[in-house]
Structure 1
Amino acid sequence: MPKITYIEHNGTEHTVEVPVGLTVMEGARDNNIPGIEADCGGACACSTCHVYVREDWVEKLPPKEAMEEDMLDFAWQPDPKRSRLTCQIKVTEELDGLVVQMPERQI
């Protein structure tokens, strides 16, 4: 099972196993990781599951679709390169070791 590391804004790290097929957001929700609110439940209708993907993982993830790009406009301090919505990242075996960091707050 892939391990994903979620880093809170204060630097606290949580490394958890997330089943293949779930999203990175569902992995955070199911493991009670603070900092990912996911108000819309994963429908890509808000930006409250926004994270910054660690630099060395940016190119390894599938590209953002238009809907995700649009929702990131509403995120707290989005980074054009590293910002992603965790509800849009499906967990695969290839994501083992993924590291994401939460912003200071979610909007």
Structure 2
Amino acid sequence: MTTITFVAFDGTRHELEAENGSTVMENAIRNSVPGIEAECGGACACATCHVYVDDAWKAAVGEPEAMEEDMLDFAYDVRPNSRLSCQIRVSDKLDGLVVHVPERQA
């Protein structure tokens, strides 16, 4: 299992155990993390699972692919470390991952 910490806009931390092979978004929804709406269910067809990857984890998570970059155009307050959590696949190399939830979703 891989540990992921979601940091809400108000600073509240939600730490959870995630199964490898799942996505960060799936784990957020399964654990009712506030602020992750995932209206499209993980199809990379909305931007309501937008997160900011903590700078310490940006290299490990990697850069978004073209389709994800296109969807990020619809996200609220996009930053260089913005990602759609439905596109981040959980693996051992992400154990300890920290992501921040924006003030609101698009």
TM range (shorter): over 0.9
5+ residue gaps, structure 1, are: none
TM-fit CA distance, 1:61: 1.2
State the alpha-carbon separation in 1 of the partners of residues 67 and 93 from structure 2: 24
Amino acid at match of 1:56: A
Amino acid at match of 1:87: C
The count of aligned residue pairs is 106
Q: What is the RMSD of the two structures over their aligned residues, measured on CA atoms?
A: 0.6
Map 1:62-77 onto structure 2 (within 5 A): 62-77=62-77
Query: What is the aligned-residue identity percentage?
Result: 58
Counterpart for residue 10 of structure 1: 10
Amino acid at match of 1:65: E
Counterpart for residue 85 of structure 2: 86
State the alpha-carbon separation in 1 of the partners of residues 63 and 9 from structure 2: 24
- Runs of 4+, deviation exceeding 2 Å: none
Map 1:39-54 onto structure 2 (within 5 A): 39-54=39-54
5+ residue gaps, structure 2, are: none
Counterpart for residue 21 of structure 2: 21
State the alpha-carbon separation in 1 of the partners of residues 37 and 31 from structure 2: 12
State the alpha-carbon separation in 2 of the partners of residues 72 and 101 from structure 1: 15
TM-fit CA distance, 1:91: 0.3
Q: Provide TM-score, normalisation by structure 2.
A: 0.98
Instruction: Show CA shifts across 1:25-54 (max 9, x none).
Output: 001001111110000000000000000000
State the alpha-carbon separation in 2 of the partners of residues 7 and 56 from structure 1: 14
Q: Provide TM-score, normalisation by structure 1.
A: 0.97
